[in-house]
């Protein structure tokens, strides 16, 4: 994916499949290089980047033959992997069941198009990239997406929450900021102006009581364009000018697509009028309804929920005097088995028609916050309540309820679609306009339900 708005905000472009906690799709690769093996890396390959041999997998080379830039990269990556495993209360082997492939590709917009897949991390960099340009926070964010797509301690931890709006993009940000002990999210190259390079500043309270414009689907591009509008001509290097130009073009295209879809009435959602955008955020503004009774929460940009989530935990750290992200992740992990698991497929699907079943796990997130609070002493509980109130987290409760009660049909349909490219192409079931057609209806049965 090389959509600049999305990529700049570290969107993976690849969905976190509900099958992420199930069986591995293929056996982990055998890694000969001991340094790569130690870092849980199976491939390092750089194409079109100064100082690297294009197409070479350095993890297939003897350790003694690795150049200094590769040795330095392995050291940085191993350090990040160890910090993540520690935060998860796990070992490196339990966290990285499948070693990660790292592919670095020269790209004129630099790191703006990096993404994750179930195979590894794809880092886009300027052709002149050096090890000192390694975007550690971007890598840490993307590696969490990779881990969610593969068997291991993390995918088990988030079972049932893969697409939760308060987790999908926000949790990778929270973990990245926790291991680097900074609420900032630094992206992009050093030559970019500060307002383009730093996605999130260190201001103390980022509340869900903020206006809807902070969370609607174009909030990310607004941030970039607002920065571009404030820059002086002397601030514009070639890279900044390219980012601003491409973001503006992509935003114009997104606006046209939105207006066209609204005119065709392909969905129902809260309007992006100036008046509505200025109203205090309500989770119902995230609803996006399609034909056939399918509802998503994609009228909001899930990346933006990282702001209150990160802010909440850093505020809690300041009030209690200790970090609580690891404790929170434990509370999330301890409730992973409370997910309701559905086995789903197309109503008219058969093996002959290319239909494949899919399993979907769903659960609310609120019980994990409740468990975290209950694990604290009386004084820390007061601090928790203060931070909760300051961040308008009662709106998170409403968002969590919407996720569990109104998007279930979409989650089921999404999982089935992801497993059925052949069937989808035959009956056009990936098109939201066809959701109500008989061939595209999905049926499910509960195969696992535990209460705690």
- What's the whole-number mean pLDDT along residues 375-400? 98
Other CB atoms within a 10 A radius of the CB of residue 197 amount to 19
For the cut 60, the answer to whether the pLDDT of residue 233 exceeds it is yes
- DSSP per position, 154-184: HHHHTTT-TT-TTTTTHHHHHHHHHHHT-S-
CA atoms within 13 A on the CB side of 263: 6
Query: For residue 297, what are the contacts with CB-CB under 8 A and spacing of at least 6?
Result: 165, 283, 286, 287, 288, 399, 402, 403, 406, 407
Q: Helix or strand or coil: residue 74? A: helix
Higher pLDDT: 87 or 130? It is 87
For the cut 70, the answer to whether the pLDDT of residue 30 exceeds it is no
In 192-279, the DSSP E strands lie at 198-200, 268-269
Q: What is the mean pLDDT of the chain?
A: 89
Determine which of 11-15, 203-207, 437-441 has the lowest per-residue pLDDT on average. Answer: 11-15
pTM over 0.85: yes
CA angle (23, 29, 33) in 5-degree steps: 145
pLDDT at 354: 67
pLDDT tens-digit profile of 307-357? 999 999 999 999 999 999 999 999 999 999 889 999 999 988 876 776 789
pLDDT at 17: 35
Largest separation between any pair of C-alpha atoms in the chain: 63
CA atoms within 13 A on the CB side of 58: 26
pLDDT tens-digit profile of 141-162? 999 999 999 999 999 999 999 8
Higher pLDDT: 389 or 28? It is 389
Bridge partners of residue 186, in order along the sequence: 198
pLDDT at 141: 95
Q: Which two tokens stand for residue 379?
A: 């004084």
Other CB atoms within a 10 A radius of the CB of residue 379 amount to 10
d(CA 341, CA 8): 34
């Amino acid at each position: 994916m090389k959509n600049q708005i999305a990529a700049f905000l570290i969107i993976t472009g690849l969905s976190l499949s509900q099958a992420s906690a199930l069986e591995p799709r293929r056996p982990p690769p055998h890694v000969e290089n001991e340094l790569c093996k130690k870092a849980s890396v199976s491939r390092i390959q750089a194409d079109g980047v100064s100082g690297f041999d294009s197409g070479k997998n350095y993890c297939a080379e003897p350790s003694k033959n690795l150049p200094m830039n590769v040795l330095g990269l392995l050291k940085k990556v191993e350090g990040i992997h160890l910090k993540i495993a520690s935060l998860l209360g796990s070992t490196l082997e339990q966290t990285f069941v499948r070693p990660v492939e790292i592919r670095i590709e020269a790209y004129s917009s630099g790191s703006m198009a990096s993404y994750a897949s179930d195979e590894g991390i794809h880092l886009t960099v300027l052709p002149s990239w050096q090890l000192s340009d390694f975007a550690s926070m971007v890598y840490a964010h993307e590696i969490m997406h990779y881990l969610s797509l593969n068997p291991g301690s993390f995918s088990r931890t988030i079972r049932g929450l893969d697409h939760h709006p308060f987790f999908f993009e926000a949790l990778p940000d929270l973990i990245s900021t926790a291991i680097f002990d900074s609420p900032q999210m630094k992206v992009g190259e050093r030559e970019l102006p500060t307002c383009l390079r730093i996605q999130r500043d260190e201001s103390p309270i980022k509340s869900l009581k903020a206006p809807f414009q902070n969370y609607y689907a174009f909030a990310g591009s607004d941030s970039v364009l607002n920065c571009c509008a404030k820059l002086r001509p002397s601030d514009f290097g070639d890279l900044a000018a390219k980012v601003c130009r491409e973001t503006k073009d992509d935003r114009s295209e997104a606006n046209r697509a939105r207006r066209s879809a609204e005119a065709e009435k392909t969905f129902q959602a809260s309007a992006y009028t100036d008046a509505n955008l200025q109203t205090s955020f309500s989770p119902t503004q995230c609803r996006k309804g399609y034909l056939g009774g399918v509802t998503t929460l994609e009228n909001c940009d899930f990346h933006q929920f990282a702001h209150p989530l990160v802010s909440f935990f850093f505020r809690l750290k300041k009030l209690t005097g200790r970090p609580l992200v690891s404790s929170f992740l434990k509370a999330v992990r301890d409730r992973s088995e409370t997910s309701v698991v559905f086995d789903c497929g197309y109503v008219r699907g058969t093996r002959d028609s290319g239909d494949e079943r899919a399993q979907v796990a769903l659960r609310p997130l609120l019980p994990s916050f409740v468990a975290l609070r209950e694990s604290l002493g009386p004084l820390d509980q007061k601090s928790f309540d203060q931070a909760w109130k300051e961040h308008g987290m009662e709106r998170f409760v409403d968002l969590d309820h919407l996720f569990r009660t109104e998007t279930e049909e979409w989650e089921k349909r999404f999982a089935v679609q992801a497993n059925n490219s052949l069937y989808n192409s035959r009956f056009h079931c990936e098109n939201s306009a066809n959701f109500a057609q008989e061939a595209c209806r999905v049926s499910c049965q509960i195969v696992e339900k535990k209460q705690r």
